[in-house]
Structure 1
Amino acid sequence: MARRLRIGIDTGGTFTDVVALDIGEDGAGGGADGAGGEPVTTKTPSTPADPAEGFAAGVAKVLGLLGASPEDVASLSHGTTVATNRLLEDRIDDLGFVTTDGFESMLEIARQSVPDGYGNSYFWVKPPRIVPAHRVRTVGGRLDHTGAELRPFDEESAVAAARWFRDAGIRAIGVCFLHSYANPAHELAMREVLRREHPDAVVSLSCEVLREYREYERSVTTLVDAAVKPAMNGYLARIAERVASRLLVMKSNGGVLSADEVARQPITTVLSGPAAGALGAAFVASRGGRRSVVTLDGGGTSTDVAVVLDGEPTVTTEGTIGRHPVKIPMIDIVTVGAGGGSVARRSPDGALKVGPRSAGADPGPLCYGRGGTEVTVTDAHAVLGRIPPHLLGGEVPLDVPAARAGLEELAAGLGLTVERAAAGILEISAWNQANAIRQITVQRGLDVRDYPLVAFGGSGPLLACRLLDVLGLPAAVVPENPGNLSAFGLLTVDVKNDHVRTRVVRDAELDAAVLAETFAELEDEAGAALAREGFPEERRRFVRSADLRYYGQAFEVRVTAPAGPPDEAFRAEVVRRFHDAHTDRYGYGHRDDPRHPVEWVNLRVSGIGPIERPRLPERPPGDGDPSRARTGTRRVYFDDWEETPVYRREKLAPGDAVDGPAVIEEFGSTLPLHPGFTARLDPHGDLVVTAGEGR
């Protein structure tokens, strides 16, 4: 039988993670019964100078492990941080902005808000605008909020603006005219002028990037798209030179798009990597019957947490990347600087602080032996024996004495023993992660105690037991190969594109004909995008949603909309869902209260092209005796030093239960099992950690 491989590749700061799956001729995952085979995982060093090199090396390595050739690859799915890193590092150069005459100060005015409120931000300084004032050019012409033309497009000022950018050597340009969400004609005319006068320019139009109201957010989102477009297009071109297979790129909204489509809208990839991890965790949890969970992706620099409800990660459009507000659909992820490389230090007032600053991968923690000079969370784990004296099956030996020497110096300044200082570092890191989980649950109106935790990433499982204690979570699920779950998640994702229109109208005045017409336009756009992706009409799926609010509110609540014609029953059902969602989120609603009428704001359609998800086989049960997986013991500090059994995860069988204290090791991660906890391997190969009654 011919081989057909799907490969997922997630590029991180330290390693590029690779997962390959043979889907066979039937596309279901290989095997005569269509049940699918085991995924093959590996890692290769990332190449920050040119991530495309690490990408190609990862493909070559996994093909070598499989004895396969490039011709066997059906598709490549990729999670990339190219756009994210460019924004986080603030590498935005030579960016220009074109807007409506009279609105040249829009970016400077921005929003009248400061972080954490005025009382906590007395010394806050407004960050620099994304485009300096001297790189802003205005063009005459004006539309009203309905899209009707008040003044015609002024081509003379448009030509002058285009020539100014050309003469200044500014090639990346964002265009945002007032009310272009209602009528894109003036922006399209501006693009034609730029094509004629400045053909080397890379142009982003707000009517194509974000077709909804609120000029400031739409402007910044468009400018971010323009800023990352040259780097992303260059990166995708370098991958195409090295790999000939069809490339799908992960988007922030939980879908994938072909590389050609991503080149048209690169801003959609700004949370590419974390989104893939959340999708992979949702797949793993649902496979085990857990449809609603909290996900925790622990890396070297940070930890990303998200919530999965009824099998799908929650989505928001109120996000920021670095200092830039980005109003695009993205999986709702909270990031905290609590990774393995987070630095521990003594503050000026004598307290122990951990993070958010990270030692990164180079020089990294003290135990890496690469010249690091600061104690990190990984050093604390190493000194307490909770991780082995090597990583990645021996590929990365750890210098535990160097870590201990650094901790001795830090502990002396704190007046603590080495063990107490190391345990304190891990306790602070656990509480930092717990606070991030509370932010994504409690602050969203969810009871955190209702949700199991899916812990993955290289450092994700290390504090799982403590998080169960701190938050009262019912269980923690540690997937097989947790360090590669983001790469695996890329193989579980459908093609997805999002389309939006602003239609601000009170519910009592809503015209069903306009509603139907708008949804039809959006579905036509989504269908055309899916057609470009190669999906025939019968395989296209459309999901409607709408943003509603009570009249007078500044922000909206998004609810899914039913299928069928947008008639009176449709309208009533959407409004009912809004009342319910508002009550769930904020604890109150105004159902049947005429003093608080409902207002429709945005209509949305997501076009989905389904991709066959992996169907992994269940494992046969073992004899219930985990001793076959025991490799020995070593001294580990939990509440005190204790000779602790060590297990190899790959030798455990479904049904095996390991009681703490213990350490369960595998190639890409480690699970320290505290006293009073039990880890049981389920039929899917996932470790399910629960606390005993005494906890």
Structure 2
Amino acid sequence: MARIGVDVGGTNTDLVLECAKGVFYHKVPTTLKNQSIGVVDGVKSICSIAGIRTSDVDVIVHGTTTATNITIEHNGSETGMLTTRGFRDILHIGRHKRPYNFSLHFTVPWQDQPLVKRRNRIAISERILPPKGEVETALDEEEVREAIRLFKKRGINSIVVGFMFAFLNDAHERRAKEIILEEMPDAYVTLSSEVANVMREYERFSTAAMNCYVGPKTAFYLRDLESKLREAGVSSKLRIMQSNGGVSTIESCAARPIRILMSGPAGGVIGGASEGVMAGVKNVITVDIGGTSADISTIPDGRVKIMNPRDTYVSGHPVLTPMIDLVTIGAGGGSVAYIDEAGAFNVGPRSAGSEPGPACYGRGGTEPTVTDAQIVLGRLDPDLVLGGDLKLDPELSRKAIEEKIARPLGMSVKDAALGILKIINNNMALAIRSNSVARGIDPRQFSILPFGGAGPLHGVALAEAISARDVIVPVAPGITAAVGLLKTDLQYEHTEAVIVELNASDDDDLAHINSAAATLRERVIAELDDDGIARDQQMIEIVAECRYHGQGFELRATMPDGPVTHANKATIVTSFHDQHQLDYGYSYRDQEVELITLRAIGRAAVERLNIPKVSPTDGSGINRALMFVRATTFDDGRTLETPRYDRTKLYAGDKVNGPAILVQHDSTTLVPPGYVAETLEYGNTRVHRAGIA
């Protein structure tokens, strides 16, 4: 059985292949105009490296940034919306929140970059009432048909339907969809009750609108990729990483692309968590530093956290879909250093990407980047990047930093390069604190786990900045996100609004809860059945999303085994109190707890990537891995003759004293003076201060 994980980043596309011959890693440039070209080229290349045929591949798991990039670049589909008369401007009004309360200079994303323009939001006569979902005003079907005819004239074929209280009764939304497809059979249609069957009309409408906004282009990409793989002789199953850390099918993700808005970063967090397990470390802070951005996630006790729904915003728009808890900032190898109009020294968030890329790439880029700073300081060897496949010009790096930074600020090129790294490291340290210290987590109890092509160059600096215990460098840092794709399960989720005061619930309320749970269970089982998963391999979990009476948002609580009864409903209440205590540091044990939503999570375990152990040290010494010695400048300003070691030739138990640089095809690890790099049993590396066990 051969399996491939493919993660597409802003600069490179990373691949890992597991087959009978072993585990193989590979990188190819990302083809930004059409990511599928780079993916197919990478699949063919890594199969060639492993000596297998493309037809031998059984499964490909893909992490994609297609949907994410659409939201960032604001180039989604022109979308039309049908909504309840009187509520046309819900998407514009939002929740009357100001992004920055005390600033006079700010933008409101949901108004400045609307997912649906106002002229394309058409009100329809219909009304469903709470709390039971009774129909007060029947759906005016002729108004729906007239709206669709208008959309056709405007060339709009992506249509979202969001009616008030559809989460209580979706009959009007379903009928509107039938009419839309009668009038416009090729339309891309999203119902709010299909993608976010929960209360809160603004968030529900926004989620559905986002699905339609990114849907057509994302669906085209996924199906185009599948077609190109077939043409390349790959007949394997294609799975897509979802924002919640599970994988799903092409069909499911094409219909609900909001599930994959954080597809790329999710694979990195899963991969980082598994690397922590292999290193015997449960508390890790993953820092995925690529060419364009840095994705940061705190993993306490080996548990990947799911973000609270109140925080799940994408490009300023609320999206009610489960996402791994992470922070993304514009900090990567391609981040551009510049002097702003006020004369301040800045780095990022703008990136040079892969075209033209950093100045040293020689592709026409003239602005200095973080990669150029690493080159100037001797931390990256221009003849060794990607095993020598990517030739870099150090003179172009020096020229860019001198002309754009050093000369205008009256400093040396070396100090300017050190300044670039100090600024970018401080930016990342602030983001790490926002995901740890700001949430009551002490980073002194955690290890920094840096990966991505640029990660291990920054690992020790970040650990020092936040006082982390040590640094754990993965086996293949530049490919860790791709590795994570082969270490996760199939996963589907469905929700149902069930609003019940648990302490005061009666027999009818409990019957409602159990009926909704049974319906949700059937839905996820049906999806797993469609994916060919045997019933005995299906794992179904029902989660209760609860809040204190009148509270703004919910937290997840554990459901009892079997039906909910008066005897066991306290299980939900107690679990919610405990979760509130964990997340916020306090709880109100005597207050009423409301159940708001039931969520069914269906999983199917898949075979995990098996990373082989490396040979134990044989006493031959680390000189077997020594390549050469070159001058390197460290953060304290000292320039020292620094040996380079081939990391792949280090054995478990080998210790390399700094200053040193560990070189491998996909990444480079910096070991400053006063630090020791110890190779662990799977080939991962622990970097810590000398004299500290």
* TM-score, structure 1 as length reference: 0.94
C-alpha displacement of 1:632: 1.4
Write the letter of the residue equivalent to 1:601: I
C-alpha displacement of 1:247: 0.6
C-alpha displacement of 1:122: 4.3
Which stretch of the first structure deviates more once superposed, 571-580 or 248-257?
571-580
Identify the residue that residue 636 of structure 1 maps to in structure 2.
632
2 CA distance for matches of 1:333 and 1:481? 21
Which stretch of the first structure deviates more once superposed, 260-269 or 429-438?
260-269
Aligned CA distance change for structure 1 residues 563 and 286 (closer, same or farther; 3 Å): farther
C-alpha displacement of 1:387: 1.1
Aligned CA distance change for structure 1 residues 389 and 562 (closer, same or farther; 3 Å): farther
Q: Does 1:197 align with 2:183?
A: yes
The answer to whether the 8 Å contact 1:387/1:672 transfers is no
Per-residue CA shift, 1:266-323, capped at 9, x if unaligned? 2211111111111111112112322332111001111001122343321123322223
Identify the residue that residue 152 of structure 2 maps to in structure 1.
166
Q: Does 1:407 align with 2:401?
A: yes
The answer to whether the 8 Å contact 2:126/2:140 transfers is yes
1:645 is paired with a residue of what secondary structure? strand
Identify the residue that residue 66 of structure 1 maps to in structure 2.
50
Per-residue CA shift, 1:391-423, capped at 9, x if unaligned? 101111221122112222312322322222211
2:644 is paired with a residue of what secondary structure? strand
Q: After superposition, where does 1:321-332 map in structure 2 within 5 Å?
A: 321-332=314-325
The answer to whether the 8 Å contact 1:468/1:691 transfers is no
C-alpha displacement of 1:123: 4.6
Write the letter of the residue equivalent to 1:403: S
Residue 276 of structure 1, aligned match among 256, 259, 267: 267
Q: After superposition, where does 1:143-542 map in structure 2 within 5 Å?
A: 143-145=128-130, 146-243=132-229, 244-316=235-307, 317=309, 318-390=311-383, 391-409=385-403, 410-510=405-505, 511-542=509-540
Residue 671 of structure 2, aligned match among 664, 673, 691: 673
Identify the residue that residue 14 of structure 2 maps to in structure 1.
17
The answer to whether the 8 Å contact 2:74/2:113 transfers is no
Write the letter of the residue equivalent to 2:626: R
Identify the residue that residue 552 of structure 1 maps to in structure 2.
550
The answer to whether the 8 Å contact 2:545/2:597 transfers is yes
Write the letter of the residue equivalent to 2:103: N
Identify the residue that residue 82 of structure 1 maps to in structure 2.
66
2 CA distance for matches of 1:674 and 1:71? 46
Which stretch of the first structure deviates more once superposed, 622-631 or 177-186?
622-631
2 CA distance for matches of 1:430 and 1:671? 15
Which stretch of the first structure deviates more once superposed, 140-149 or 94-103?
140-149
Write the letter of the residue equivalent to 2:101: Y
Identify the residue that residue 26 of structure 1 maps to in structure 2.
none
Per-residue CA shift, 1:492-544, capped at 9, x if unaligned? 11110111122223222233222222211111111111111111211110122
Identify the residue that residue 232 of structure 2 maps to in structure 1.
none
Aligned CA distance change for structure 1 residues 570 and 61 (closer, same or farther; 3 Å): farther
The answer to whether the 8 Å contact 1:341/1:360 transfers is yes
Write the letter of the residue equivalent to 2:525: G
1:508 is paired with a residue of what secondary structure? coil
The answer to whether the 8 Å contact 1:9/1:490 transfers is yes
2:528 is paired with a residue of what secondary structure? helix
2 CA distance for matches of 1:167 and 1:294? 52
2 CA distance for matches of 1:194 and 1:392? 51
The answer to whether the 8 Å contact 2:659/2:671 transfers is yes
1 CA distance for matches of 2:114 and 2:501? 35
The answer to whether the 8 Å contact 2:223/2:250 transfers is no
1:489 is paired with a residue of what secondary structure? helix
1:603 is paired with a residue of what secondary structure? strand
5+ residue gaps, structure 1, are: 23-29, 31-36
2 CA distance for matches of 1:402 and 1:239? 36
1:338 is paired with a residue of what secondary structure? coil
2 CA distance for matches of 1:564 and 1:627? 61
Which stretch of the first structure deviates more once superposed, 185-194 or 305-314?
305-314
The answer to whether the 8 Å contact 1:544/1:563 transfers is no
1 CA distance for matches of 2:524 and 2:177? 23
Per-residue CA shift, 1:43-64, capped at 9, x if unaligned? 2222222222112111111111
2 CA distance for matches of 1:119 and 1:260? 45
C-alpha displacement of 1:574: 2.2
2 CA distance for matches of 1:403 and 1:245? 43
2:641 is paired with a residue of what secondary structure? strand
Write the letter of the residue equivalent to 1:673: V
Q: Does 1:140 align with 2:125?
A: yes
Aligned CA distance change for structure 1 residues 692 and 148 (closer, same or farther; 3 Å): farther
Residue 33 of structure 2, aligned match among 25, 46, 49: 49
Q: Does 1:689 align with 2:687?
A: yes
5+ residue gaps, structure 2, are: 230-234
Per-residue CA shift, 1:98-148, capped at 9, x if unaligned? 111111111111121122x31135454552322111111122211123322
Which stretch of the first structure deviates more once superposed, 221-230 or 511-520?
511-520
C-alpha displacement of 1:67: 2.0
C-alpha displacement of 1:694: 8.5
The answer to whether the 8 Å contact 2:77/2:216 transfers is no
Residue 541 of structure 2, aligned match among 540, 543, 554: 543
C-alpha displacement of 1:356: 1.1
2 CA distance for matches of 1:67 and 1:481? 20
2 CA distance for matches of 1:160 and 1:478? 60
Which stretch of the first structure deviates more once superposed, 558-567 or 626-635?
558-567
1 CA distance for matches of 2:624 and 2:567? 61
The answer to whether the 8 Å contact 1:677/1:692 transfers is yes
Identify the residue that residue 119 of structure 1 maps to in structure 2.
102
Aligned CA distance change for structure 1 residues 623 and 568 (closer, same or farther; 3 Å): farther
Write the letter of the residue equivalent to 1:118: N
Identify the residue that residue 87 of structure 2 maps to in structure 1.
103
Write the letter of the residue equivalent to 1:342: S
Aligned CA distance change for structure 1 residues 694 and 416 (closer, same or farther; 3 Å): farther
1 CA distance for matches of 2:632 and 2:371? 15
Write the letter of the residue equivalent to 2:143: S
Write the letter of the residue equivalent to 2:170: P
The answer to whether the 8 Å contact 1:103/1:138 transfers is yes
2:264 is paired with a residue of what secondary structure? helix
1 CA distance for matches of 2:168 and 2:280? 44
Q: Does 1:572 align with 2:570?
A: yes
Which stretch of the first structure deviates more once superposed, 50-59 or 408-417?
408-417
Q: CA RMSD in A?
A: 1.8
The answer to whether the 8 Å contact 1:544/1:562 transfers is no
Write the letter of the residue equivalent to 2:540: F
2:563 is paired with a residue of what secondary structure? coil
1 CA distance for matches of 2:558 and 2:684? 32
C-alpha displacement of 1:562: 4.5
